[in-house]
């Protein structure tokens, strides 16, 4: 198990999932058996030494209050607990993996099938390779082992990588941080097509779990954003929250870029690099809307350019719009110039945006008043 977790990158034998972590070994079993009190004391010993991740390749088919108390205490102190689901041949998950505070790990084979020996039940949260895993053995040796005990260290190692990369310290006694990483593991797991009681959220995916994306924030006009304009990194699936605040005499109108929103506070889900711009305009200025990919009408600019003057909409341009199916322009309609195009207001409300593009007039419906 230790080799799967942290074998060094030294071109010898195998490479662990997290080769640069500090690994502490707590011995609570004697051969293949141990006492309830020893297991509980081992869990608390790890928590008291501020272990970010506690990996447990052991289990019992029976719950024990002493171990349950130790698990609950450890959870409140901010350690993330990962345990083998058990080799019960598609039977129930063993304890402590079955406790809700612990991540229960099932085992898969090289073809992403559930290993025949692996437990299978609703407590399974995630799967990992567990058949014929090459790892370190006592006596400076290497060998192949199978079991959910070999699967759990894969998940523990990826968890440690995330703790390391996010610079989270279990000594902060914050269970929320561990739960955040727990959710991140599940969000980034690969769905390999097994049932939820076999794979949980899927197969642990180290590459996706530590992948980062860039969010570029910029400002147009006079205003500030929180975070400030710049480039920020987020992990796969994380939510970035941005706020926009106008300066005196200005107003916030909308966010544009990879996300459009008229709300000053937005949430951006990061599954790729993204850019957003907070657009501010003077309070007395009528700004253009963000351009939608769907046009309401399209007219040749050269035929109607002379009619693009501020004031009541009339003449051939009005007739052309009507032919395009914009029937409400039969009401009182005004044309007004904006920074990058023209507004058409119908009975005093903004209705359409006219935009010049490639010698054509593109007309976009815009419902906000």
How far, CA to CA in Å, does 331 sit from each of 315, 326, 341? 14, 11, 21
| Contact by Cβ (8 Å): 97, 174 | no
User: Which residue is associated with the tokens 């957003």?
Assistant: 276
**What is the reported pLDDT for 19?**
65
What's the chain's average pLDDT? 86
Question: Between residues 11 and 171, which one has the greater pLDDT?
Answer: 11
**What is the reported pLDDT for 159?**
92
**What is the reported pLDDT for 369?**
33
Question: Between residues 362 and 118, which one has the greater pLDDT?
Answer: 118
Count of positions (residues) in the chain:
369
**What is the reported pLDDT for 286?**
66
Top CATH class of 2-209 equals: alpha beta
Answer whether residue 114 shows pLDDT above 50. yes
Task: Give CA–CA dist 44/23, Å, rounded.
Answer: 16
Task: Give CA–CA dist 166/177, Å, rounded.
Answer: 10
Nearest to 337 by CA among 268, 278, 279, 288: 288
Map out the domains of the chain as residue ranges.
2-209, 212-282, 297-365
Answer whether residue 296 shows pLDDT above 70. no
Which tokens sit at 142? 């290497």
Q: How much of the chain exceeds pLDDT 90, in percent? A: 48
| Contact by Cβ (8 Å): 336, 343 | yes
Task: Give CA–CA dist 24/266, Å, rounded.
Answer: 42
| Contact by Cβ (8 Å): 222, 280 | yes
User: Which residue is associated with the tokens 């406790």?
Assistant: 99
pLDDT digits (tens, 9 = 90+) for 134-178: 888 878 788 889 999 999 999 999 998 888 877 666 555 667 888
Answer whether residue 206 shows pLDDT above 60. yes
Nearest to 60 by CA among 36, 28, 31: 36
pLDDT digits (tens, 9 = 90+) for 36-67: 999 999 999 999 998 999 999 999 999 999 99
Which tokens sit at 145? 């082992």
Find the distance separating the first CA and the last CA of the chain, reported in whole Å: 63
């Amino acid at each position: 198990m230790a080799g799967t977790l942290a074998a060094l990158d030294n071109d010898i034998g195998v490479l662990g999932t997290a080769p640069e972590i500090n690994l502490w070994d707590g011995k609570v079993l004697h051969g293949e058996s141990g006492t309830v009190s020893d297991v509980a004391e081992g869990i608390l010993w790890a928590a008291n030494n501020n272990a970010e991740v506690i990996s447990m390749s052991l289990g019992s088919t029976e719950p024990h209050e002493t171990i349950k108390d130790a698990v609950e205490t450890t959870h409140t102190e901010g350690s993330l607990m990962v345990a083998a689901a058990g080799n019960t041949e598609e039977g129930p998950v063993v304890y402590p993996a079955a406790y809700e505070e612990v991540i229960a790990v099932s085992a898969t084979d090289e073809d992403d099938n559930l290993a025949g020996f692996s437990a299978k039940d609703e407590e399974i949260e995630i799967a990992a390779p567990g058949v014929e895993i090459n790892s370190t053995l006592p006596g400076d040796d290497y060998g192949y082992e199978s079991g959910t005990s070999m699967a759990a260290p894969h998940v523990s190692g990826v968890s440690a990588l995330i703790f390391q990369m996010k610079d989270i310290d279990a000594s902060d006694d914050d269970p929320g941080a561990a739960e955040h990483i727990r959710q991140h593991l599940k969000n980034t797991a690969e769905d390999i097509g097994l049932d939820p009681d076999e794979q949980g959220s899927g197969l642990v995916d180290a590459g996706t779990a530590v992948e980062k994306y860039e969010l570029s924030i910029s400002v147009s006009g006079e205003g500030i954003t929180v975070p400030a304009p710049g480039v920020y990194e987020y992990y796969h699936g994380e939510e970035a929250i941005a706020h926009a605040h106008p300066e005196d005499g200005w107003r916030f109108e909308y966010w544009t870029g990879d996300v459009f929103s008229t709300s000053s506070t937005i949430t951006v889900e990061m599954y790729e690099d993204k850019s957003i711009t907070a657009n501010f305009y003077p309070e007395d200025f009528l700004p253009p809307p963000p351009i939608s990919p769907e046009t309401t009408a399209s007219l040749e600019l050269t035929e109607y350019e002379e009619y693009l003057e501020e004031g009541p909409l009339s003449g051939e341009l009005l007739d052309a719009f009507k032919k395009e199916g914009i029937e409400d322009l039969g009401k009182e309609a005004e044309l007004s110039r904006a920074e990058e195009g023209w507004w058409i207001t119908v009975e005093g409300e903004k209705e359409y945006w006219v935009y010049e593009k490639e010698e054509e007039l593109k007309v976009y419906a815009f419902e906000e008043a």
